[in-house]
Amino acid sequence: MSSVGAGFRLVRAGWVLVREGVVAALPGDELFGLPKFGWRVARLFTRRRALAYERGDRLAKAVVRLGPSYVKLGQFLATRPDVVGNDIALDLAMLQDKMQTFPQAEAIAAIEASLGRKVGELYASFGEAVAAASIAQVHTAETLQNGVGSRVAVKVIRPGVRRRFFRDLESYFLAARLQEKYIPSSRRLRPVEVTQTLAQTTKIEMDLRLEAAALSELGENTRDDPGFRVPTVDWERTGRDVLTMEWVDGIKLNDIAGLTAAGHDLKAIAANLVQSFLRQTLRDGFFHADMHPGNLFVEPDGTIVAVDLGIAGRLGKKERRFLAEILYGFITRDYLRVAEVHFEAGYVPRQHNVAAFAQAIRAIGEPIHGQPAETISMAKLLALLFEVTDLFDMATRSELVLLQKTMVVVEGVARTLDPAFNMWKTSEPVVGGWISGNLGPRALLADARDGASALLALARQAPDLAARTERLSREIDLMAEHGLRFDERTAHAIGKAEARYSRSGRLALWVIALTLVVIASKLL
- Answer positive or negative: Cα dihedral of 474, 476, 479, 480: negative
What 8-state DSSP symbol labels residue 279?
I
Closest among 316, 312, 294 to 204, alpha carbons compared = 312
Q: Are 78 and 401 in contact (CB under 8 A)?
A: no
CA distances from 187 to 3, 71, 143, 180, 190 (A): 22, 25, 52, 5, 5
Instruction: Tell me how far apart the alpha carbons of residues 231 and 220 are, in angstroms, rounded to a whole number.
Output: 11
Q: How far apart are the C-alpha atoms of 95 and 59, rounded to whole Å?
A: 8
Under 8 Å between Cβ of 406 and 313: yes
Name the residue type at position 20.
Answer: E
Nearest to 362 by CA among 334, 391, 343, 404: 334
CB neighbourhood size of 365 (10 A): 20
**Is the CA virtual torsion 253, 254, 256, 257 positive or negative?**
negative
The answer to whether 188 touches 396, Cβ cutoff 8 Å, is yes
> Do 201 and 169 form a contact (C-beta atoms < 8 A)?
no
Angle at 17 between CA 15 and CA 19, to 5 degrees: 65
What is the H or E stretch that residue 237 is in? none
How many residues comprise the chain?
524
- Cβ proximity of 107 and 205 under 8 Å: no
Pairwise CA distance, residues 194 & 199, whole Å = 9
Q: 216-238: b or e for each residue (b if 16 or more CB lie within 10 Å)?
A: eebeebbeebebbbbbebbeebb
Q: Which amino acid is at 513?
A: A
| Calpha distance 255→396 (Å, rounded) | 36
CA–CA separation, 501 and 497 (whole Å): 6
Identify whether the C-beta of residue 20 lies closer than 8 Å to the C-beta of residue 47: yes
- Beta carbons of 333 and 369 less than 8 angstroms apart: yes
* Best CA proximity match to 171, nearest among 13, 2, 6: 6
Query: Do the beta carbons of residue 227 and residue 272 sit within 8 Å?
Result: yes
The catalytic site residues sit at 290
